């Protein structure tokens, strides 16, 4: 019963999830974003930016920028037009 046809796929998926977890990423969010980005790339394109460490760095910068923008917006709205 059964076969080992899916074992290689499962082991790759588990390895990617473990690597994402090791970099303190949400594996589901990481995989969703990486798969979305892969769909828009051509064969042979560099994918180094999709590795968990590079992805985490890039998204930390994005989150930091969004946080700064949100704080600026909050400060702007709380000053009633005064800067």
Q: Which pTM value belongs to this model?
A: 0.66
Q: What is the pLDDT of residues 37-75, one digit of tens each?
A: 999 999 999 999 999 999 998 888 776 666 666 666 666
The C-alpha atoms of residue 78 and residue 72 are separated, in whole angstroms, by 10
Q: From residue 33, give the alpha-carbon distance in Å to each of 4, 8, 12.
A: 28, 22, 17
36 vs 2, more confident = 36
Please work out, in degrees rounded to the nearest 5, the angle formed at the alpha carbon of residue 54 by the alpha carbons of 10 and 67: 115
The C-alpha atoms of residue 17 and residue 28 are separated, in whole angstroms, by 8
Q: Cβ distance 34 to 50 under 8 Å? A: yes
The band of 81, judged by pLDDT with boundaries at 50, 70 and 90, is very low
Compute the mean pLDDT over every residue in the chain, rounded to the nearest whole number. Answer: 81
């Amino acid at each position: 019963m059964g076969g080992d046809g899916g074992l290689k796929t499962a082991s790759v998926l588990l390895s990617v999830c473990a690597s994402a977890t090791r970099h303190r990423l949400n594996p589901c969010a990481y995989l969703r974003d990486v798969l979305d980005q892969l769909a828009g790339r051509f064969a042979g394109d560099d994918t180094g930016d999709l590795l968990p460490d590079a992805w985490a760095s890039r998204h930390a910068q994005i989150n930091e920028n969004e946080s700064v923008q949100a704080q600026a917006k909050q400060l702007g709205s709380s000053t009633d037009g005064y800067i």
